[in-house]
C-alpha cells in the first residue's frame, strides 16, 4: 500500500467548514516518459480518490495523468457529528488504498 | 611582454583566493532563494511538502529498527555534522554509509541500496531532525585529505562539455541556462524532492546527474569520490541551515 | 496570346463588401470556446454542446511555473451551496497537454465549499480552462494563461 498522509483537524464545531488535506505517494507515470534506451515508460496512475464522512461523499476526483506525482488535494467538509473521515484511493490496476481519521464535533 | 605582469598578478591573486578560501567559504546562498514563491511555500508547508512522505517512511523504519537503541529525538544535530571521519572505518563517510554501517554492525541487517525508498526515507528522517540547524562539518585533522580531494573535484573540469562544478556554481551564479537561474549548488536541503525527478533524491544522485549533464562518466553512488565532494560541498554550505526535505527544481 | 493568371479584381464593390464583413465579425460576440480541436472534443464528451458562460470561478494559478511538473492550482466556485445553484463538479483542462482533461472533481453532499486545491502538470506555456457545472445543469467557465519556462535541466533526458 503506498504511503498516504491525511490532515483532519482533531475537533470542529457543528456546521463548520473543515479543511481537509490528503496526499498519496505515487509516481503518476504519465506514459509520455522514455527511458534512456528509448523505450516508453508505461502509464501508471491513481485513477480515483473519494473522501466520505457521515455517510456522505465529500469530494471525489477522477484523476488523469495531468495530475502531478504524489497527488495532493485540499477541500472542505461540513462538520455534522463526530465520526471517522474516510479516504479511499484506487489506481489503474484496481489496487485500493484507504486511510481514515477521527473528527470530533462539538 | 608588458601584459604578462598584470596577468600573472591576476592569476596569482586568483590562485591565492582559492587557497585562502580554505579557511572561510564564500557567502553561501541556499537553493531555497532560487525557487519560485510557490515552491518556497511548498517547501515550508509541512503537510503538502511531498518530501515528508519519505520522512514518514523513515520514521516508520526508525521505529522498527533504530528505536531499539536510539531515543526519540536523539538524532537532532547529527545530520549537520555529516560527512565526517569515522574512526572504525578509517575514512570519511556520509550519513547513508553511517546508517548502513550501524544497521550491519548492530542489527546484522543487510545494507540498504542507494536511492531505495528505505535509505532515502531514513536519511530524510534523520536529516529532518536537524531541520533549522546550521551545517557544521569538520574539515581538519583526519578529514583534511578527503576535503582536499573533494575541493579538487569541485574545481576540476570534466566531461565532453569540459566544465567543472565551479564554472557554473561559483562563476556564473545568477546567470541563466535557458530559463533557469544557476544556483550555488548547495547541499543543505538533501535528500531533496526534485520537481524534475518528481521523487526524492540523494546528494550522490544529484552529483551523478550533474556529471552526466556535462557528459562525464559518473562515479558510483556511495563512492569515496562523491563522499569527498559531499564533504567539500557541505563545508561550502557553512552558514546555511539544514532544510530537509527541500523542494528543488 | 500571353497567359494570365486568374486575378480577383479589386473593385470598389469588393473592398466595401470585405470591410463590411470584417466589421460584422468584430461586432459579433466571441464565442466562449477552447482553442484546440482536441479540447473541444473533450469538452463535448463531458458536457455535450451545452452553452458555457464566463464567470463564477476564481482560478488561482502561478503566472510563471518553473518546471511544468508541479503547478499548484486552486479553484473556487462562487455559487451558493444551498439550492439549485450548488456547484456539482469542475473539470480542469489544459489546452496544450497531450491529454486535455487533467481531472474531474466532484463535490458530494458533504462538501462545505465549492473549492479545492491540487497540483497539476503542464507541458508548456498554455491556457488552463476550468468548467464548473451547477446542480441545475448550467455551465460556467474561466481561463488563465500559465507561462512554463524551459530550464536547461528539463531538456536533458538522462538516466539519473
Q: In chain B, whose CA is at the least distance from the CA of A36?
A: B212
Chain A residue numbers touching B57 (CB-CB < 8 A): 3
The answer to whether A103 touches A85, Cβ cutoff 8 Å, is yes
Q: What confidence score (pLDDT) does residue B18 get? A: 45
* Topology adopted by domain C37-155: Immunoglobulin-like (2.60.40)
Contact with chain B for residue C66, Cβ under 8 A: yes
The answer to whether C116 touches C105, Cβ cutoff 8 Å, is yes
C-alpha distances out from residue B114 to A1, A47, B123, B245, C61, Å: 22, 30, 11, 17, 36
Q: In chain A, whose CA is at the least distance from the CA of B60?
A: A3
Whether residues B48 and A27 touch (CB distance < 8 A) is answered with: no
CATH class for the region spanning A4-31+42-105: mainly beta
> Scanning the structure block, which residue is given the C-alpha cell 496512475?
A45
Q: What confidence score (pLDDT) does residue C4 get? A: 42
Domains belonging to chain B, first-starting first, are 30-248 (1.10.760.10)
Confidence tier at B56 by pLDDT (50, 70, 90): very high
Whether residues B209 and C158 touch (CB distance < 8 A) is answered with: yes
What integer best gives the mean pLDDT of chain B?
89
Contacting partners of chain C (3+ CB pairs under 8 A):
A, B
Mean pLDDT across B240-249: 94
Q: What confidence score (pLDDT) does residue C30 get? A: 31
Mean pLDDT across B210-232: 94
**Grid cell of B248 as nine digits:** 528543488
Would you say residue A38 has pLDDT above 60? yes
Task: Name which residue leads in pLDDT, A94 or A33.
Answer: A94
Comparing CB atoms, the residue among C66, C152, C160 nearest residue B209 is C160
Query: Among residues of chain C, what percentage have pLDDT more than 90?
Result: 57
Would you say residue B51 has pLDDT above 50? yes
| Ranges of each domain in chain A | 4-31+42-105
Q: What confidence score (pLDDT) does residue C157 get? A: 63
Residues A27-65, buried b or exposed e (16+ Cβ, 10 A)?
A: bbbbeeeeeeeeeeeeeebbeebbbbbbeebbbbbebbb
Comparing CB atoms, the residue among B36, B208, B212 nearest residue C64 is B36
- Rounded CA separation A80/B119 (Å): 43
Whether residues C158 and B213 touch (CB distance < 8 A) is answered with: yes
Would you say residue C114 has pLDDT above 60? yes
Whether residues C156 and B249 touch (CB distance < 8 A) is answered with: no
Comparing CB atoms, the residue among B48, B57, B198 nearest residue A23 is B48
Would you say residue C31 has pLDDT above 50? no
Confidence tier at B10 by pLDDT (50, 70, 90): very low
Q: DSSP label at C67?
A: S
Q: What confidence score (pLDDT) does residue B14 get? A: 44
Would you say residue C18 has pLDDT above 60? no
Q: What confidence score (pLDDT) does residue B11 get? A: 44
Does the annotation count B210 as an active-site position? Answer: yes
Q: What confidence score (pLDDT) does residue A97 get? A: 96
Whether residues C160 and B179 touch (CB distance < 8 A) is answered with: no
Contact with chain C for residue B203, Cβ under 8 A: no
pLDDT in tens, B72-110: 889 999 999 999 999 999 999 999 999 999 999 999 999
Contact with chain B for residue C118, Cβ under 8 A: no
Task: Name which residue leads in pLDDT, B67 or C21.
Answer: B67
Would you say residue B5 has pLDDT above 60? no
Tell me the pTM.
Answer: 0.85
Cis peptide bond upstream of B245, omega within 30 = yes
Residues A80-94, buried b or exposed e (16+ Cβ, 10 A)?
A: beeeebbbebbbeee
**What does DSSP say about strands A11-12 and A96-105: parallel, antiparallel, or unpaired?**
parallel
Whether residues C92 and A78 touch (CB distance < 8 A) is answered with: no
Mean pLDDT across A72-76: 97
The answer to whether B232 touches B151, Cβ cutoff 8 Å, is yes
Query: Among residues of chain B, what percentage have pLDDT more than 70?
Result: 90
Mean pLDDT across A30-36: 82
Our CA-based measurement puts residue C93 at a distance from the nearest CA of chain A, in whole angstroms, of 9
Confidence tier at C151 by pLDDT (50, 70, 90): confident
Contact with chain B for residue A33, Cβ under 8 A: no
Q: What confidence score (pLDDT) does residue B91 get? A: 95
Contacting partners of chain A (3+ CB pairs under 8 A):
B, C
Q: In chain A, whose CA is at the least distance from the CA of C90?
A: A61
| Ranges of each domain in chain C | 37-155
Q: Provide the number of CB pairs (under 8 Å) joining chain A to chain C.
A: 103
Q: Is B177 exposed, middle or buried (0-12, 13-18, 19+ CB in 10 A)?
A: middle
Chain C residue numbers touching B212 (CB-CB < 8 A): 156, 158-160
Q: What confidence score (pLDDT) does residue B142 get? A: 95
Chain B residue numbers touching C160 (CB-CB < 8 A): 205, 208-209, 212, 218
Confidence tier at C132 by pLDDT (50, 70, 90): very high
Q: What confidence score (pLDDT) does residue C9 get? A: 52
- Is the ipTM here above 0.90? yes
Contact with chain C for residue B160, Cβ under 8 A: no
Q: In chain C, whose CA is at the least distance from the CA of B37?
A: C62
Would you say residue B1 has pLDDT above 60? no
Among A residues 15-34, those touching chain C with beta carbons less than 8 Å apart: 16-18, 30, 32, 34
Best of B38, B50, B61 to substitute, by most chain A Cβ atoms within 10 angstroms, is B50
Mean pLDDT across B24-41: 90
Amino acid at each position: 500500500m503506498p504511503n498516504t498522509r491525511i490532515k483532519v483537524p482533531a475537533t470542529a464545531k457543528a456546521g463548520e467548514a473543515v479543511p481537509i488535506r490528503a496526499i498519496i505517494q505515487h509516481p503518476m507515470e504519465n506514459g509520455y516518459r522514455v527511458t534512456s534506451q528509448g523505450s516508453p515508460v508505461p502509464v501508471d496512475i491513481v485513477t480515483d480518490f473519494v473522501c466520505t464522512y457521515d455517510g456522505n461523499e465529500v469530494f471525489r476526483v477522477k484523476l488523469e495523468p495531468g495530475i502531478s506525482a504524489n497527488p495532493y488535494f485540499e477541500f472542505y467538509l461540513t462538520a455534522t457529528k463526530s465520526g471517522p473521515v474516510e479516504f479511499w484511493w484506487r489506481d489503474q490496476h484496481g489496487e485500493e488504498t484507504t486511510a481514515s481519521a477521527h473528527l470530533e464535533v462539538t | 611582454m608588458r601584459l604578462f605582469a598584470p596577468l600573472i598578478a591576476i592569476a596569482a591573486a586568483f590562485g591565492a583566493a582559492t587557497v585562502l578560501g580554505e579557511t572561510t567559504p564564500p557567502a553561501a546562498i541556499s537553493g531555497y532563494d532560487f525557487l519560485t514563491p510557490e515552491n518556497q511555500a511548498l517547501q515550508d508547508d509541512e503537510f503538502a511538502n511531498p518530501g515528508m512522505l519519505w520522512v514518514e517512511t523513515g520514521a516508520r523504519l526508525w521505529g522498527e529498527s533504530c528505536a531499539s537503541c536510539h531515543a526519540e529525538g536523539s538524532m537532532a544535530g547529527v545530520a549537520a555534522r555529516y560527512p565526517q571521519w569515522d574512526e572504525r572505518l578509517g575514512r570519511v563517510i556520509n550519513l547513508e554509509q553511517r546508517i548502513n554501517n550501524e544497521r550491519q554492525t548492530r542489527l546484522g541487517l543487510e545494507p540498504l541500496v542507494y536511492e531505495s525508498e528505505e535509505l532515502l526515507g531514513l536519511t530524510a528522517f534523520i536529516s529532518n531532525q536537524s531541520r533549522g540547524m546550521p551545517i557544521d562539518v569538520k574539515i581538519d585533522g583526519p578529514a583534511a585529505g578527503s576535503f582536499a580531494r573533494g575541493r579538487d573535484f569541485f574545481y576540476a573540469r570534466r566531461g565532453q562539455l569540459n566544465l567543472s562544478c565551479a564554472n557554473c556554481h561559483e562563476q556564473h551564479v545568477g546567470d541563466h541556462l535557458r530559463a533557469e537561474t544557476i544556483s550555488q549548488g548547495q547541499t543543505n536541503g538533501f535528500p531533496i524532492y526534485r520537481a524534475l525527478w518528481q521523487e526524492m533524491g540523494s546528494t550522490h544522485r544529484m552529483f551523478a546527474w550533474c556529471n552526466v549533464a556535462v557528459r562525464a562518466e559518473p562515479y558510483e553512488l556511495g563512492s569515496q569520490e562523491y563522499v569527498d565532494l559531499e564533504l567539500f560541498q557541505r563545508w561550502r554550505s557553512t552558514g546555511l541551515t539544514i532544510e530537509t526535505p527541500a523542494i528543488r527544481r | 496570346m500571353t497567359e494570365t493568371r486568374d486575378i480577383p479584381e479589386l473593385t470598389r464593390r469588393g473592398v466595401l463588401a470585405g470591410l463590411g464583413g470584417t466589421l460584422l465579425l468584430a461586432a459579433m460576440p466571441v464565442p466562449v470556446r477552447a482553442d484546440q480541436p482536441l479540447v473541444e472534443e473533450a469538452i463535448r464528451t463531458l458536457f455535450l454542446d451545452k452553452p458555457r458562460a464566463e464567470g463564477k470561478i476564481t482560478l488561482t494559478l502561478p503566472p510563471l511555473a518553473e518546471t511544468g511538473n508541479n503547478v499548484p492550482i486552486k479553484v473556487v466556485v462562487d455559487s451558493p451551496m444551498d439550492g439549485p445553484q450548488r456547484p456539482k463538479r469542475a473539470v480542469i483542462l489544459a489546452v496544450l497537454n497531450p491529454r486535455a482533461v487533467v481531472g474531474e472533481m466532484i463535490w458530494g453532499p458533504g462538501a462545505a465549499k465549492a473549492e479545492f486545491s491540487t497540483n497539476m502538470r503542464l507541458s508548456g506555456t498554455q491556457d488552463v480552462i476550468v468548467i464548473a457545472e451547477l446542480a441545475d445543469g448550467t455551465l460556467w467557465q474561466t481561463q488563465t494563461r500559465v507561462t512554463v519556462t524551459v530550464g536547461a535541466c528539463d531538456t536533458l533526458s538522462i538516466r539519473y
